């Protein structure tokens, strides 16, 4: 908005004065027209960003998986999503399930009423916050202090699990946020959302480490269908989360508000701003935010603090069942996890842990990504043909093959035909809104229409699917 104000001020300063020649007036008129065009482009960009968030399905009224204990207390109905519960003892699924049962009756507090005490003086807590040198402002007050004590002193087992998972997932998030030039502190939102569980599912259906709701995931280009749910892909979902944070910051110009919008949607944050007489900082609108969101930013500060000063509190990472190094492959033929497991001897649960987005154990052969432990890279490359052929006829019975169902060994076309459906862009439209209307993704719309950016124009004719 500062750029818009600058343009308006500049335009106002160029009001014609008496005594100017016709040539001078024409030149000034041309300059003003350019300024107006720049203003209109800036407004269009701002409206497109706001519409992208407000029309995306949002994460409104979402209770994050990792906060459900504190938002709902005992009896929370959050679940760990998965294909079955009979994973071997070293798998990440078993790791989660064992700890979920162990944590079932512990570490649950009503954060609206509980007030923790600590032997650590306020002066020390305040000094440590300052020394964290966070790009995102970390104010100190009683609410923040309460969450600092919660994460550092009241949930040692859960923090040990979080610290263990951080060794694998945090570098992924850091690389993603650096790519978008975003504050690295945003990575701690994943702790608040899911405790970094890629299979986490909240009681309202938010899924994955970054807890995307279905429509929000689609609007940010995540693939969600019968075989793939990229909300559970740590890499793809982190990229979508980064773009959401970027869009939210463009609207609010404040990281605490952008983080709040990630939890409750930009619509609820805007309502809180209006009720706070237009004030645009987190603590001014605090009492007008949804209940969970009020604790969302303080919880993130608490998690940051506990991770940074884990040693001072005797917190150590739990051992986990994730390899330090993995390799990535593009798969162009249908591939079953069991084919890899049985030919190479990799436990199938290890493959599932590194590829949680494939919930039928199948990587569709469309250039999708497969991740394997680095020590199996050479074997996989050398034995690819054997792996693809291994039990292929039985592995893919009644499964997909090149977008078609295989029934009794013969491909059957799906209900999707070959005739394109077109849509004429109207004023106020954006790709997220159109994707939602036609039950597809922004990624598909851009691919079908050879779009290099998210910008579309009124009257443009877009392919939106097939009959």
The full DSSP string for 274-303 is HHTTT--SHHHHGGGS-HHHHTHHHHHHHH
Domain end point (choices 54, 74, 93): 54
pTM: 0.70
Same domain, 267 and 229: yes
- Kindly list the distances between the CA atom of residue 230 and the CA atoms of 213, 235, 240, 440, in Å, as whole numbers in the listed order: 12, 9, 10, 14
Q: Domain of residue 366: give its range.
A: 326-412
In a shared domain, residues 229 and 336 = no
* Same domain? 385 vs 354: yes
Query: Tell me, what DSSP letter sits at residue 401?
Result: E
CATH of the domain at 150: 1.10.530.10
CATH code for position 443: 3.10.350.10
The pLDDT, as a whole number, for residue 260 is 94
Report if residue 319 sits inside a domain: no
Specify whether 168 is located in the same domain as 307.
yes
Per mean pLDDT, which range of 163-167, 359-363, 448-452 is the poorest? Answer: 448-452
Q: What is the DSSP string of 248-272?
A: HHHHHS-HHHHHHHHHH-HHHHHHH
d(Cα 238, Cα 234) in Å, to the nearest integer?
6
The model's confidence at residue 55, banded by pLDDT at 50, 70 and 90, is: very low
What is each CA distance from 460 to 116, 262, 422, 449, 457, in whole angstroms?
58, 31, 10, 11, 6
User: Do both 40 and 75 map to the same domain?
Assistant: no
Per-residue model confidence (pLDDT) at position 371 = 96
216-224 mean pLDDT: 92
Structure confidence at residue 188 (pLDDT): 97
Give the integer Cα–Cα distance in Å for 220 and 215: 9
Count of all residues that appear for the chain in the document: 467
Q: Are residues 301 and 192 in the same domain?
A: yes
Number of domains in the chain: 4
254 domain-assigned: yes
Residues 446 and 394 in one domain: no
In a shared domain, residues 147 and 267: yes
- Measured CA distances, 4 to 10, 22, 23, 41 (Å): 10, 29, 28, 10
User: Tens digits of per-residue pLDDT, 402-417?
Assistant: 444 443 344 444 444 4
Residue 132 pLDDT level (bands cut at 50, 70, 90): very high
Compute the radius of gyration of the chain from its Cα atoms: 26
Residue 60 forms part of a structural domain: no
Q: How does residue 150 score in pLDDT terms, banded at 50, 70 and 90?
A: very high
If pLDDT is split at 50, 70 and 90, which confidence band does 58 have? low
291 and 232 part of one domain: yes
- The DSSP code for 154 is I
Do residues 71 and 181 share a domain? yes
User: Has residue 366 got a pLDDT over 90?
Assistant: no
Q: Using the 3D structure, point to which of 288, 313, 338 is the last residue of a domain.
A: 313
In a domain, 321, yes or no: no
Task: Say how far apart CA 324 and CA 197 lie, in whole Å.
Answer: 17
Q: Taking residues 32-37, what's their average pLDDT?
A: 71
């Amino acid at each position: 908005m500062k750029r818009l104000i600058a343009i308006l001020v500049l335009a106002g300063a160029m009001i014609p004065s008496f005594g100017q020649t016709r040539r001078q007036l024409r030149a000034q008129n041309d300059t003003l027209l350019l300024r107006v065009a720049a203003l209109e482009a800036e407004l269009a960009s701002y409206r497109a960003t706001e519409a992208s968030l407000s029309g995306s399905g949002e994460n409104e009224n979402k209770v994050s998986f990792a906060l459900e204990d504190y938002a709902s207390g005992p009896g929370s109905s959050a679940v760990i999503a998965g294909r079955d519960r009979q994973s071997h003892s070293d798998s990440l699924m078993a790791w989660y399930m064992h700890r979920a049962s162990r944590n079932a009756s512990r570490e649950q507090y009503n954060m609206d009423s509980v007030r923790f005490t600590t032997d650590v003086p306020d002066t020390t807590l305040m000094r440590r916050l300052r020394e964290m040198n966070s790009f995102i402002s970390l104010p100190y007050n009683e609410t923040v202090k309460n969450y600092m004590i919660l994460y550092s002193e009241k949930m040692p087992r859960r923090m040990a699990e979080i610290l263990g998972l951080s060794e694998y997932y945090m570098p992924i998030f850091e690389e993603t946020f650096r790519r978008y030039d975003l504050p690295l502190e945003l990575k701690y939102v994943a702790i608040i959302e899911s405790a970094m569980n890629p299979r986490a599912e909240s009681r309202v259906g938010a899924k994955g480490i970054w807890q995307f709701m279905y429509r929000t995931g689609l609007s940010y280009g995540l693939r969600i269908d019968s075989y793939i749910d990229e909300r559970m892909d740590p890499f793809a979902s982190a990229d979508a989360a980064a773009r959401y944070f970027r869009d939210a910051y463009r609207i609010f110009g404040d990281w605490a508000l952008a983080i709040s919008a990630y939890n409750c949607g930009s619509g609820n944050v805007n309502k809180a701003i209006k009720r706070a007489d237009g004030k645009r900082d987190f603590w001014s609108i605090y009492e007008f935010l949804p209940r969970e969101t009020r604790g969302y930013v303080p919880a993130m500060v608490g998690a940051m603090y506990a991770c940074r000063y884990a040693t001072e509190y005797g917190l150590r990472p739990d051992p986990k069942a994730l390899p330090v190094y993995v390799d990535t492959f593009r798969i162009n033929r249908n591939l079953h996890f069991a084919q890899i497991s049985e030919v190479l001897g990799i436990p199938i649960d290890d493959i599932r842990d590194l590829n949680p987005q494939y919930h039928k154990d199948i990587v569709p052969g469309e250039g999708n990504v497969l991740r394997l432990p680095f020590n199996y890279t050479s074997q996989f490359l050398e034995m690819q043909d054997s792996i693809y052929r291994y039990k292929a006829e039985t592995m893919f019975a009644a499964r997909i093959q090149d977008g078609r169902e295989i029934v009794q060994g013969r491909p059957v076309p799906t209900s999707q035909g070959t005739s394109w459906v077109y849509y004429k862009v109207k004023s106020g439209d954006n790709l997220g809104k159109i994707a939602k209307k036609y039950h597809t993704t922004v990624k598909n719309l851009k691919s079908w229409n050879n779009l290099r950016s998210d910008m579309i124009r009124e009257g443009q004719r877009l392919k939106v699917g097939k009959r």
